[in-house]
Structure 1
């Protein structure tokens, strides 16, 4: 998924269900200068989503252990 986020940042957002963000990223990516910020934004967003999932799993495990 990181490879998709670097090569096609807009597709990374759309595959995760963030359609409007994907379209905004596509508009940014249409310029050659905008490609790098779009790729960084997509990778950063992907990492944040993974961290959020990990945190939710940890909180759920802690609540179940009580």
Structure 2
């Protein structure tokens, strides 16, 4: 999470969202744009974690059948 706040563009690129990461980095270059970029980075990371939990839950449910 700290990486998503301090370097949101890099955080998005590490998670496989290359185009979003580049756009976020461009937004982050300006001081005013850094705050929305940090929020976007945290939201993107949270969404990725939620999707991962969802996939794990589906795998457990399928294995139980």
> Normalising to structure 2: TM-score of the pair?
0.95
| Cα offset, 1:10, TM superposition | 0.5
CA distance in 2, matches of 1:18, 1:56: 18
1:17 and 2:5 aligned: no
1:63 and 2:36 aligned: no
| Cα offset, 1:16, TM superposition | 1.1
State the partner residue of 1:40: 39
Unaligned stretches of 5+ in structure 1? none
Query: Secondary structure at 2:16's aligned position in 1?
Result: coil
CA distance in 2, matches of 1:26, 1:56: 29
> Normalising to structure 1: TM-score of the pair?
0.94
What does the per-residue CA deviation read over 1:4-57, in whole Å, with 9 as the maximum and x for residues that have no partner? 100011000111121111110011111111000000000001001001000111
Unaligned stretches of 5+ in structure 2? none
